[in-house]
Amino acid sequence: MIDLSAINLNRLTTFVAVVEAGSLTAAAERLGLAKSMVSKHMQLLEQEIGVGLLLRSTRKLSLTEAGRDFYEASRQLLQSATQAIEQARTGRHSPQGTLRVASPIDYGVLVVAPLLSALRAQHPALKVDLVCADHRIDLIAEGIDVAVRLGKLGDSGHQANRVGTLRRWLVASPAFIAQHGTPATPQELAQLPAIALTVVAQSNFFTLENAAGATHEVRLQNIVFSTNTAYASRAAALAGDGLLRATTFSVQDDVAAGRLVRLLPEWSLSESDIHALYPATSHLPQKVRVFIDALKAATGD
């Protein structure tokens, strides 16, 4: 086993800086050290581990094969150390820095934005950058700390934390019901005017289940209004265009206020999960942790 006490781990920082800066001179400027000191650190590091890491010439500096492998390992080690220190510090203090969150548009506006504002009220040192979009965002490329995903997760390589259940209701406006009547059975739904959210797979097809375990497949055959945004579909439902299969978080206030009516409440639509997704790490930043905890509390699951 290697005796780490014989190796000055501070030199790893210098080595990583040399590789990323591209030269001893640039690394010295970045670290605020004399070039001779940086060169000395590299010589001592190579002596300590017994392997040549750098190929030096008058024109450029490059890595040996062992140096390339050692750089990746050193970079990951320093990153883990930084995260561990941050975790230790923020475990004692209020979260701070900028929390970058990605979310689907409707969930971001109706659920995530108010939650983040409440978090900022509790933790004034915390800043927020909320990115709302209905397409899948690349967390690493766009520097996202945590993303909210509704429904089935793909294989992303990121860590996922289930934070709640996504539920849907069938709803329609009182004006729609006055004109078309209240459906008493799932069989009556197929021919009624309906609203379709086109970003949902098979938006005109779904399965209902009652408390006794009976199921009924519904295929809506009279789509009168199609749209690619949940906001527009809700607006169409409020206007009386048709019945709508909507997420509960987007219409529950309308149902409570009587602007929309839940149809066939004894029948349930299939449920799915809500996840918080974040880059794989051994030390979850405190700002991400408090957001996930708050999101779990908000969903009530």
Nearest CA to 17 out of 39, 47, 50 is that of: 39
10 against 103, higher pLDDT: 103
Same domain, yes or no, for 82 and 221?
no
Domain boundary among 43, 66, 90: 90
Which CATH number characterizes residue 291's domain? Answer: 3.40.190.10
Which span out of 18-22, 32-36, 234-238 was modeled with the highest average pLDDT?
234-238
Domain containing 260 equals 168-270
Same domain, yes or no, for 230 and 243?
yes
Domain boundary among 90, 125, 148: 90
Global pTM reads 0.63
pLDDT (tens digit per residue) in 144-196:
999 999 887 766 678 888 999 999 999 999 999 999 999 999 999 999 999 99
Per-residue confidence (pLDDT) for residue 90, from 0 to 100: 54
Same domain, yes or no, for 158 and 174?
no
Per-residue confidence (pLDDT) for residue 108, from 0 to 100: 93
Same domain, yes or no, for 148 and 187?
no
How far is it, in rounded angstroms, from Cα 241 to Cα 106? 20
Same domain, yes or no, for 247 and 121?
no
How far is it, in rounded angstroms, from Cα 177 to Cα 174? 5
Same domain, yes or no, for 157 and 107?
yes
Which CATH number characterizes residue 32's domain? Answer: 1.10.10.10
How far is it, in rounded angstroms, from Cα 82 to Cα 68? 21
Report whether pLDDT(120) > 90: yes
How many CB atoms within 10 Å of residue 169? 21
Same domain, yes or no, for 228 and 282?
no
Per-residue confidence (pLDDT) for residue 111, from 0 to 100: 94
Residue 48 pLDDT class (50, 70, 90 cuts): confident
Same domain, yes or no, for 121 and 215?
no
Domain boundary among 41, 66, 90: 90
Per-residue confidence (pLDDT) for residue 136, from 0 to 100: 81
Which range among 69-83, 159-173, 187-201, 208-222 shows the weakest confidence by mean pLDDT? 69-83
Mean per-residue pLDDT of the chain: 88
Number of domains in the chain: 3
pLDDT (tens digit per residue) in 220-264:
999 999 998 889 999 999 999 999 999 999 999 999 999 999 999
Same domain, yes or no, for 236 and 295?
no
Which CATH number characterizes residue 217's domain? Answer: 3.40.190.290
Per-residue confidence (pLDDT) for residue 9, from 0 to 100: 77
